[in-house]
Amino acid sequence: MHDNTQDTQPDIRNEYLVLRASAGSGKTFSLALRFVYLLCKGAKAWEILTLTFTKKASNEMRSRIQKNLKNLYTDSLHGTLTSNDTFVSLQANGIDEEFIKHNIKRIYTQFMQTRPKITTIDSFFYSILQKFCWHAGVSNAFEISEYDNMALYERFAQCLSQNERKSIAKFCSVNDMRIEDFLGFVSKFSEQKHALRQTEQKTNLKEVKNSIDSIMEHLRQEIATKPNIKQVGINALNYKHIEDIALKTWLAKANPNDYNYWKKIDLSHLTNDFNALKKLLCVYYQIKQNAIFTQVHTYIDKFCSIKHDFLRQKNILTHEDITRKVHNLLHSNIDRDFFYFRLDERIMHILLDEFQDTSIIQYEILRPLIEEILSGKGRIDER
C-alpha cells in the first residue's frame, strides 16, 4: 500500500498496488500513469479493465490517458520529454527515453484504434448479465429502468394466503413497522439470503423491554430529585417507545455528566445503570433484528418467484437488480471455465478507482475475476 499523503511518489512497478490518499492529491493521475506504464510493459489496452463509479470519472480517465499518450508522442518528436510530467514519472519507474522514442507512436496508435475497457462498475456488470442473460433467467433485450415497488408489493400480497397476510400485519403491528417497510426488507434480501444472519436468541424481548423500562424509571427518579436540576434535564429521560431512547443524545456520551443538562449534578453513582442500559438496548435490537430476519426469510422464496415473473413481464431491471443477478450467477453452479471464456479472458489487469466505495456485493462479484487473474491459469498464462 502506498500512502499518497506523503511526499513520495508511488512505485507503479509493484505487481499489486493500493493508493490511499485524500481528494485532490493525485490518485487519478497515478491511476492513469499506471495504465500508461502497463501499456509500456506490453499490455494491450483491451486487456486492462479500468472501473470507476461514474460516467464522468470514466470519461475523465479515458481522456487523461489519451492526453498523456498524445503528449508523450508529441514531446518525443520535439525532444521535450524531460519536461513531460508523465515521462518523468515513467522514467522514475524504469521506462527510459529511448523506449518512449521508439515505441510511443505504436502504443498511442493501438490505444486510439481499440476500445479500452474503461467503464463504470455498473456498466461492467451490465455487460456480464447481457452475455449470460439466459443463465440468469432474463431476456437479452431487458431495459435498465426504475419500476414501481408498490406495484410489485401489491402483486406479492395478492399471492399470499389470508393467514399469511394476517401474520405479516400482526408482526408489523407488534414491531411498530409499516407493512411496506417489511416488504422492503423482503425485497432487499430476496436475492441475498446469505446476508440474513440469524442467531439463536434465548432472551425474551418482553423481559428485556421491562428491564429497560425499569432502569429508565430508576434514572428518572434519581435525576429528578437532584437539587437545581432543570426541567429540560428531567425531560431528557422521557420516551414513548424503546426506539426513542436510542435517539437520545446523552446515550452516546461515555460519561452521563458529559451531557450538557447534567453537567452540574453528580451522576457517578449511576454509571453502572447507564452502562447496563446500553447493553440492554443492544440486546433489544439484536432480538428485534433476528425476529425481522426470521420473518423475512419465511417469505423470500415466494417473493423471488413473484418478482422474477414481474420483471420478466416488464422486461426491466434496475442497476441493483443487475448487480444481484450477476452475484447470483457467479455463485451458482455455472461452469467457471465456460464463464471466463464467455466473459473475455483477455482481461489481464484490473484498475479500480475509489475502491473504498465498493459495496460488499460488488466486491464479491469482482473477487472471482481477481482470483482468476492472480492464479495465472487458463489459456493465457502469466496474468
Phi-psi region of 378 (alpha: psi -120 to 50; beta: other; left: phi over 0): left
pLDDT at position 222 is: 92
Between residues 368 and 98, the one the model is more confident about: 98
pLDDT at position 172 is: 87
pLDDT class of 37 with cuts at 50, 70, 90:
very high
- 292, 299 Cβ separation under 8 angstroms: no
Overall average pLDDT of the 354-372 stretch: 83
Q: Is the pLDDT of residue 248 over 70?
A: yes
pLDDT class of 192 with cuts at 50, 70, 90:
low
pLDDT class of 25 with cuts at 50, 70, 90:
low
Classify the C-alpha dihedral 22-62-122-10 as positive or negative: negative
Best mean pLDDT range from 50-64, 168-182, 293-307: 50-64
Q: Is the pLDDT of residue 179 over 70?
A: yes
Q: Mean of the per-residue pLDDT values for the chain? A: 84
- Separation CA 361–CA 367 (nearest Å): 10
pLDDT at position 145 is: 80
Q: pLDDT tens for residues 284-336?
A: 988 888 888 888 888 888 888 888 888 888 888 888 888 888 887 877 766 76
pLDDT class of 2 with cuts at 50, 70, 90:
low
CB atoms within 10 A of CB 176: 11
pLDDT at position 171 is: 87
pLDDT at position 149 is: 85
Residue with cell 429508565: 216
pLDDT at position 343 is: 67
Best mean pLDDT range from 7-11, 132-136, 288-292: 288-292
Overall average pLDDT of the 184-209 stretch: 72
Percent of the chain at pLDDT > 70 equals 87
β strands within the chain, DSSP E: 2-3, 19-20, 48-52, 118-120, 143-144, 316-317, 349-352
Straight-line distance from the first to the last Cα atom of the chain, in angstroms, rounded to the nearest whole number: 21
DSSP state letters, 82-148: GG-HHHHHHHHTT--HHHHHHHHHHHHHHHHHS---EEEHHHHHHHHHHHTHHHHT--TT-EE----
pLDDT at position 380 is: 44
